[in-house]
Amino acid sequence: MSLPETFLWGGATAANQCEGAYQADGRGLANVDVIPTGEDRMQVMLGRMKMLEPDATHFYPAMNGIGMYENYREDIALFAEMGFKCYRLSIAWTRIFPNGDEQEPNEAGLRFYENLFEECHKHGIEPIVTITHFDCPIHLIQTYGGWKNPKMVEFYKNLVTVLFTRFKGLVKYWITFNEINMILHLPFMGAGLVFEEGENELQIKYMAAHHELLASAWATKIAHEIDPENKVGCMLAAGMVYPYTCNPKDVWKGMTQDRENYMFIDVQARGYYPSYAKKMFEREGIELHLTPEEEQILQENTVDFISISYYSSRCTSADPDMQTMAGNAFDTVKNPYLDTSEWGWLIDPLGLRITLNSLYDRYQKPIFIVENGLGAVDVPDENGYVEDDYRISYLRDHLAAMKDAVELDGVELLGYTMWGPIDLISASTGEIKKRYGFIYVDQDDDGSGSRKRYKKKSFEWYKKVIASNGEDLT
């Protein structure tokens, strides 16, 4: 038996990609609500096109999600039917603090999550809660500039204090920021950053990242103080960068790109900025103005576990003429040994084992795979049934590689939550056509459809995987 009996099998979603009901029960507006579909999407996500309120000419898919705000009981019951031991979800900050800077929380928002967590426990499902999955209240962006501003740390402390206090006993596993390194790649989506003409983007991104790292350390401290049972994790959009050849220049470039991502986890897991980052800041003229108090907070409040999303490895070359393609927000050179998904993401199961080993070697802390999956076009038959053998095959190969990492390499792994167990809105494209789920949702990219849920072939397959604790992957 390769996986421990306590292994947490489940699935992962994010509030803005499935809840919808963006104005219900006093919820405020967030950056994620005003990211449209279509050709402006990328410029908005990059923070280069300012969109701080919806307009009539765009479609905003997060506003309605897949209607999970109303349907969560039925959806959780389906997760339970698959045997989920845990369910990773995120809190919409604007349900708790509609503007972000209030003193008193919105009771209706708290009650919604309380009911949801209780529903999970009713089914023996452990909630794994991401505090911030890309969302930031619009009011905080308009008034303070989002994470550019150190005041954000105080607002975040207020938020987490309310969450840890209210949900004590209901939630034990917390993740501070989803894919914290995404701030470098999609800064408006990741942290509500909008750039003005002539601003130094790099300085702003690292300053904002520093504020998030401080907020994360504070959250860890407060979580442990409120309940010593709490386990707090960081979260990395992971995937090793391979050198395209053994030319040392390619190898060096791969190492440099890996460090760009590792830097965040180095701070959260070791408690200080690594020397290569400090040197890079000096070279680039980046000033973080780190105070001794800040250094201490980072040092004394490292995370309990490291969580990751893994969709693929990446590949790089020092040759400037080498063509790159888009992966999960990270450009990569096409790896000739790997296939790609319908959205052009590389598929590399062994890369998961390589990535897990590299992270475990580096940090020696338990790891949690909190996202992994395949976005694909599904074509249901007249009964709504999808034979998604391609999805089963992707997941099977990745789970086999994951088991090797545990069984053959000794990586300490807490669990695996497959991304998007129910079809939801894609973060990168805003489509629902890019489906990940074990459960099909009858909805189109323009939001139309009955929203009825149907079990796909992979539903029964995953149920069997969980029941056998990963022994039966056939």
Place of tokens 């009539």: 56
Sorted by sequence, the CB contacts under 8 Å of residue 248 that are 6+ apart come out as: none
The residue (of 173 and 281) whose beta carbon lies closer to ligand BGP is: 173
The residue (of 15 and 297) whose beta carbon lies closer to ligand BGP is: 15
Whole-number minimum distance, CB 429 to ligand BGP, in Å?
6
Whole-number minimum distance, CB 73 to ligand BGP, in Å?
23
The residue annotated as part of the active site, out of 371, 382, 387, 471, is 371
Sorted by sequence, the CB contacts under 8 Å of residue 101 that are 6+ apart come out as: 139, 140, 143, 144, 151, 155
Based on the residue annotation, tell me whether 179 is a catalytic residue of this protein.
yes
- Residue 439 in contact with residue 387, Cβ under 8 Å? no
The residue (of 397 and 460) whose beta carbon lies closer to ligand BGP is: 397
Phi-psi region of 435 (alpha: psi -120 to 50; beta: other; left: phi over 0): beta
Query: How far is it, in rounded angstroms, from Cα 386 to Cα 51?
Result: 37
Whole-number minimum distance, CB 287 to ligand BGP, in Å?
29
Whole-number minimum distance, CB 12 to ligand BGP, in Å?
8
The residue (of 71 and 178) whose beta carbon lies closer to ligand BGP is: 178
State the amino acid at position 224 in one-letter form: H
Whole-number minimum distance, CB 17 to ligand BGP, in Å?
6
Strand partners, 315: 242
Which of the 8 DSSP states describes residue 376? B
Query: How far is it, in rounded angstroms, from Cα 177 to Cα 161?
Result: 15
Hey, which bits of 297-419 come out as E strands? 305-310, 314-316, 324-326, 331-333, 339-340, 346-347, 367-371, 413-419
Q: Residue 430's Cα: distance from chain center in Å?
A: 15
State the amino acid at position 135 in one-letter form: D
The residue (of 243 and 437) whose beta carbon lies closer to ligand BGP is: 437
The residue (of 328 and 335) whose beta carbon lies closer to ligand BGP is: 328
The residue (of 375 and 421) whose beta carbon lies closer to ligand BGP is: 375
Whole-number minimum distance, CB 233 to ligand BGP, in Å?
14
* Interface residues toward ligand BGP, by CB under 6 A: 14, 17, 178-179, 237, 309, 328, 371, 375, 419, 426-428, 434
Sorted by sequence, the CB contacts under 8 Å of residue 3 that are 6+ apart come out as: 403, 406, 407, 413, 469, 470
- Residue 146 in contact with residue 183, Cβ under 8 Å? no
Whole-number minimum distance, CB 295 to ligand BGP, in Å?
29
Q: Residue 419's Cα: distance from chain center in Å?
A: 9
Q: C-alpha angle 375/135/15, rounded to 5°?
A: 55
Lookup: tokens for 208: 């904002």
The residue annotated as part of the active site, out of 126, 179, 212, 294, is 179
Least Cα distance to 60 among 447, 318, 375, 329 occurs for: 447
Positions marked catalytic: 179, 371
